[in-house]
Amino acid sequence: MAQPLRRSVEAPATTSRLAPALPPSDGVSAIESTTQLVNSLDRLAKRGGTFTTKDPVRPYVFYGRGHLSTSQVIEDNLWKFDLSAMSRNLLDYLKTHHDQQGLVEMTQGGLAKKYGCSQSKISRAVCQLSHHNFTWRERRGVYRLNPLYAYRWGSDKQLRLVKSLKKTLVEHEITIPTVRNEATR
């Protein structure tokens, strides 16, 4: 036997009507306020000002000692180097702590203490970066960051440094590795 459909009891629909807008409380009519707005915009235009709805553009700010820029091609392909997390951390440290000559004074023991890991882990990270020529050891406790990767790009200082390190940079060229999927394309 079929059961009858149950219907819910619906409340009658109530419609609310909107009240008319109140006139401005200060006694100024809409025409007068529009006229005032147009006049103020005209005064702004006469002084050479412009009216825009966009936010003001903030100037580019350098946080730290100086301007740092990286090779965009290498930075875009950094994932292909398959660097470990510690190597990436160490590379970021090198990018932000080099001096005018691209030198970074650091010891593996000091970095191990800074990052809270073993010295052998730092050593493996330095070896990985050295293998890809991002950095190399100049002398005990001093490493050089490759100025073709991260330095004040296009500046006179960078050009002078590259010219003075010409032979060394030829030996330490950064080559972007190919990934298996790209090699088969």
> E-assigned strands of 83-172?
103-105, 135-139, 142-145, 150-151
pLDDT at 109 over 70: yes
Looking at residue 54, its pLDDT comes to 63
Measure Cα distances from 79 to 73, 85, 176, 185 in Å. Answer: 11, 11, 10, 19
Which residue is listed with tokens 């997390």?
85
Categorize the per-residue pLDDT at 37 as very low, low, confident or very high, splitting at 50, 70 and 90: confident
- Is residue 95 predicted with pLDDT exceeding 80? yes
20: pLDDT confidence band, cut at 50, 70 and 90? confident
Q: Span 30-54, mean pLDDT?
A: 73
- Taking domain 69-183, whether its CATH number is 1.10.10.10 is answered by yes
Which sign does the torsion angle of CA 154, 160, 161, 164 carry? positive
The C-alpha angle 14, 18, 24, rounded to 5 degrees, equals 160
Contact 129, 95 (CB under 8 A): no
Token pair in block for residue 94: 């090198």
3-state SS assignment for residue 137: strand
pLDDT exceeds 90 at position 90? yes
- What percent of the chain shows pLDDT beyond 90? 31
- Could you give the C-alpha distances from 19 to 16, 75, 133, 145, in angstroms and in order? 9, 61, 75, 72
pLDDT at 50 over 80: no
pLDDT of residue 117: 95
Whether the pTM exceeds 0.85: the reply is: no
Domain residue spans in the chain? 69-183
- Provide long-range contacts, Cβ within 8 A and 24+ apart, for 110-116: 115/86, 115/89
* Secondary-structure percent of the chain, ordered helix, strand, coil, rounded to 5: 45, 10, 50
Over residues 55-78, the pLDDT tens digits come to 666 554 444 445 556 678 888 888
Q: Which of residues 12 and 30 earns the better pLDDT score?
A: 30
103 torsion bin: left (phi>0), alpha (psi -120 to 50), beta (else): beta
